[in-house]
């Protein structure tokens, strides 16, 4: 697995530093808003590694649930998503924090945010561990931004290529030879 990695972009210690910083920001923002209950919604499958690290540093009482969506292949309407698994919690009047592994084009998060806001959440905020702003097609308001990365395909810390490499403890750039 390691042999398929060109180089490490975000090391284990950089991940830990950024997770702690994001949790501090989340604690500060919601505390100052007087929010005493959060619903954390993770997008499967990529977000689970980050989510499990992050929630253990959040001090506001919370519950979590998961949603699975996938983008339609090329040639379909931009921004259209295939919802494969919905959350099971009621979010009416609740403060929702969406946790995502990476924002690329923004199609996934713009749709998910709209959907959750339309269900009557009191607030919907976004926390992403990685952000590739160069690739953005649809603007997304990121409330808690982890690490901004260049336009490279990365794996590890939950992110996959063909469902593999998710367990790598760092974020690495995949070698071109793996694609070919
Ligand atoms: P968006 O809708 O284009 O923002 O897509 C975001 C989703 O694409 C993420 O949740 C990932 O599943 C996937 N993705 C985007 N860039 C990468 C990458 O560099 N490595 C692995 N998955 C990625
Ligand atoms: Mg994903």
Q: Ligand 1 test: best mutation among 49, 50, 78, 159, most atoms within 8 Å of CB?
A: 159
Judge if the beta carbon of residue 156 lies within 6 A of ligand 1: no
Q: Within 13 Å and on the Cβ side, how many CA atoms surround 57?
A: 17
Query: Which helix H or strand E contains 142, and what residues bound it?
Result: none
The values of phi and psi at residue 15, to 5°, are -60, -50
Written as six digits, the tokens of 2 are 């390691």
49-68 tens-digit pLDDT: 999 999 999 999 999 999 99
Size (the chain), residues: 180
Residue at token pair 């030879």: 177
Other CB atoms within a 10 A radius of the CB of residue 15 amount to 21
DSSP at 175: P
Pocket-testing residue among 102, 140, 173, ligand 1, by greatest number of atoms within 8 A of Cβ: 102
Q: Quick one: which of 61, 66, 65, 56 has its CA closest to 30?
A: 61
**Per-residue model confidence (pLDDT) at position 70:** 82
| pLDDT per position as a tens digit, 69-106 | 987 655 445 557 788 999 999 999 999 999 999 999 99
Q: Residue 159: nearest ligand to its CA?
A: 1
Catalytic residue among 14, 65, 101, 104: 104
Return the bridge partners of 131, or none.
103, 148
* Strand 38-44 relative to strand 95-103, pairing: parallel
Concerning whether 141 is annotated as a catalytic residue, the answer is no
* Pairwise CA distance, residues 66 & 79, whole Å: 20
Q: What is the largest CA-CA distance in the chain?
A: 52
Q: Give the distance (Å) from ligand 2 centre to CA of residue 6.
A: 22
User: Over the stretch 44-54, which tens digit does the pLDDT of each residue have?
Assistant: 999 999 999 99
Pick the ligand that lies closest to the CA of residue 153: 1
């Amino acid at each position: 697995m390691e042999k398929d990695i060109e180089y490490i972009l975000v090391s284990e210690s950089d991940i830990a530093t950024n997770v702690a910083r994001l949790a501090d920001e989340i604690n500060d923002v919601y505390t100052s808003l007087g929010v005493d209950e959060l619903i954390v919604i993770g997008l499967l499958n990529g977000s689970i590694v980050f989510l499990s690290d992050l929630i253990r540093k959040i001090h506001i009482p919370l519950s979590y649930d998961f949603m699975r969506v996938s983008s339609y292949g090329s040639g379909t309407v931009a921004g259209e998503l295939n919802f494969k698994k919905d959350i099971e919690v009621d979010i009416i009047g609740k403060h929702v924090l969406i946790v995502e592994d990476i924002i690329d084009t923004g199609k996934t998060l713009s749709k998910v945010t709209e959907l959750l806001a339309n269900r009557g959440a009191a607030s919907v905020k976004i926390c992403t561990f990685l952000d590739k702003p160069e690739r953005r097609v649809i603007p997304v308001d990121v409330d808690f931004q982890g690490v901004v990365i260049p336009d490279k395909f990365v794996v590890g810390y939950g992110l996959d290529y063909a469902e593999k490499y998710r367990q790598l403890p760092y974020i690495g750039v995949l070698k071109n030879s793996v694609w070919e």
